[in-house]
Amino acid sequence: MNLLLRDLLACIALCVLIGCAPTEESLKSPAISQDTQPAPVEETTYHLNHAQPKLPTMRLFMRDKTVVAELALSLREIATGMMFRESMGDDEGMLFVFNSPHQTSFYMKNTKVPLTGAYVGADGRILELHDMQPLNETSIPAKDANVQFVLEMPQGWFAQHGIDVGTLITTEKGPLLETFFGR
């Protein structure tokens, strides 16, 4: 079995188990650097019974607001997300980065913190906002087929700060696409 097929099968298995349900196109490989490719599925153990360690962070900007977002870039990081976390800071979030635009779907399996998910297009603009309830395993599919990023923040954060659909998200290094893909 070639490496791409094994990665695809691992991602599909994880999506079924924990709720991130990207389309086939996005399963090719999320934004993973050349030196951090996941191990083949037979050699990878996904620990789905505890929170993952805090991920590397980056500052994100939306209008006059700054947040510090953990970066979920690998298949394991995306699959685990905020599961089993007990809390999240007021101006902290998690940014999920996918290889290409697609119609994604998220749900809250083993996620105890109430969140709002911003489904974000390749251009960095928020396409949709969805409140997600703790431990609710009902999938929340995107209406738009062009989601390339998802930013999860504490529930109500976007509304509290006047951040809505159409708001542009940039990073401390520039536009989202340039930051993660160099384009």
pLDDT in tens, the chain (183 residues): 444 434 444 444 444 333 443 333 333 334 433 333 333 333 334 446 778 889 999 999 999 999 999 999 999 899 899 999 999 999 999 999 999 999 999 999 999 999 999 999 999 999 999 999 999 999 999 999 999 999 999 999 999 999 999 999 999 999 999 999 997
What's CA 33's distance to the chain center, in Å?
Answer: 16
CATH code where residue 176 lies = 2.60.120.1140
Distance CA 64, CA 86 (A): 28
Q: Which domain holds residue 147?
A: 3-37+51-181
Number of domains in the chain: 1
Q: Is residue 46 part of a domain?
A: no
Q: Do the strands 92-102 and 65-72 form a parallel or antiparallel pair, or are they unpaired?
A: parallel
